[in-house]
């Protein structure tokens, strides 16, 4: 059995990790931490786990060595302690932002604070299995991608790689659920202020832009990405609608071929494009709790553009599920282990 521990398990991402790892056939979840809730049952924060575990939160100082350590801490914290974490486990998967970008200049541009451990940036592999499976198999350290970056990169990458679209402009309209803001209450998350909103909170300058541009830099292409993020009334899920310009005369057959060539054997990518029904295109509602990324597309002959649509559950495929998929790869397990849940309908 793989001995696993979680640092920072009281948040939504930590709770999703708990849910998945407790049901994983090859994992023994050894310890979980929360500095503010030491001694409390994890089910006090994650009531869906009542009866599933008697784990309690422990302090960082009480952590014992394990095979794999999941780090789920607020942005800017894990880089301060990562060298200490490396002494606890040979393999580490960091769900935060601190090691996602290869360049220290890019990191400081997008996060506007100095990086406190730039020497470690090159040790981490960007944890998107469809793009970096071979590197993940060999590495000891994985940086989990951001949820918006995950769905945007997966939706765009085959078309960029096969030169079916121009590298700019790429315009991403992202519809975000409330759980992406975490479990700390703010004025904006107060029920009267959050309910019913369609709130544009990052029309420009979204931090995941750096990740998307980094991962879409294929060959000589250096895409320019513009992300606009809007909060909507949805607890879990993320939908991106992406507007791109085709490279010359691109047909639907060309797009199908690109997606099938890159994703035909991928266990968690589904191309959704049906002629009838209410789920003709990707829909985050039916992806809750799953590790799937659903992708669709439409060619607009009137404006000479292609509209791409991608959907995920931000907490599963966008965070915890993807981290477990990376763990499976690192330990040479079938990638679907522990991630077999197909979702619910209706929900």
- Where would I find the H helices in the chain? 12-22, 78-85, 104-111, 129-138, 147-161, 191-194, 209-215, 252-263, 321-330
Q: What is the DSSP string of 240-257?
A: EEEEE-BSSS--HHHHHH
**275 touches 187 (CB < 8 A):** no
Q: What does the chain come to in residues?
A: 347
**319 touches 289 (CB < 8 A):** no
- Where would I find the H helices in 230-343? 252-263, 321-330
**159 touches 258 (CB < 8 A):** yes
Q: Please say if 66 is a catalytic residue.
A: no
* 288 preceded by a cis bond (ω within 30 of 0): no
**Among 164, 168, 258, which residue's Cα sits nearest to residue 213?**
168
Output DSSP code: residue 334.
-
- Give the integer Cα–Cα distance in Å for 228 and 200: 8
**Among 292, 284, 286, which residue's Cα sits nearest to residue 267?**
292
**310 touches 153 (CB < 8 A):** no
**Six-digit token string for 235:** 């607890």
- Where would I find the H helices in 180-248? 191-194, 209-215
Tokens 């800017």 found at: 76
- Give the integer Cα–Cα distance in Å for 104 and 87: 24
Q: Which residues pair with 254 in a beta bridge?
A: none
Name the active-site residue from 66, 147, 293, 326.
Answer: 147
- Give the integer Cα–Cα distance in Å for 120 and 79: 8
Which positions are annotated as active-site residues? Answer: 147
């Amino acid at each position: 059995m793989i001995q696993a521990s979680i640092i920072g398990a009281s948040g939504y991402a930590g709770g999703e990790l708990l849910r998945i790892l407790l049901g994983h056939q090859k994992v023994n979840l050894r310890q979980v931490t929360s500095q503010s809730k030491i001694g409390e049952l994890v089910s006090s924060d994650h009531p869906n786990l009542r009866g599933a575990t008697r784990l309690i939160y422990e302090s960082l100082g009480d952590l014992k060595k394990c095979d794999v350590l999941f780090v789920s801490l607020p942005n800017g914290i894990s880089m301060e302690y990562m060298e200490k974490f490396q002494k606890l486990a040979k393999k580490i998967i960091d769900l935060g932002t601190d090691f996602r970008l290869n360049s220290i200049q890019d990191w400081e541009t997008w996060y506007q604070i100095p990086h406190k451990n730039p020497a470690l940036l090159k040790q981490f592999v960007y944890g998107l299995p469809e793009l970096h499976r071979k590197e993940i198999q060999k590495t000891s350290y994985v940086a989990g991608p951001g949820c918006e970056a995950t769905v945007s990169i997966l939706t765009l990458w085959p078309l960029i790689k096969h030169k079916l679209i121009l590298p700019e402009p790429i315009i991403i309209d992202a519809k975000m659920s409330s759980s992406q803001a975490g479990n700390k209450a703010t004025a904006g998350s107060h029920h009267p202020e959050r309910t019913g909103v369609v709130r544009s909170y990052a029309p420009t300058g979204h931090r995941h832009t750096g990740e998307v541009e980094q991962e879409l830099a294929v060959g000589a292409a250096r895409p320019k990405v513009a992300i606009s993020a809007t909060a909507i009334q949805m607890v879990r899920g993320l939908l991106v609608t992406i507007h791109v310009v085709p490279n010359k005369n691109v047909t639907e057959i060309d797009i199908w071929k690109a997606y099938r060539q890159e994703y035909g054997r991928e266990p968690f990518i589904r191309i959704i494009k049906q002629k009838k029904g209410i789920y003709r295109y990707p829909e985050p509602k039916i992806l809750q709790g799953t590790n799937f990324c659903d992708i669709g597309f439409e060619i607009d002959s009137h404006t000479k553009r292609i509209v791409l649509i991608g959907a995920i559950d931000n907490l599963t495929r966008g965070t915890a599920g993807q981290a477990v998929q990376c763990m499976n790869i690192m330990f040479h397990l079938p990638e679907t282990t522990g991630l077999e849940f197909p979702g619910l309908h209706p929900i």
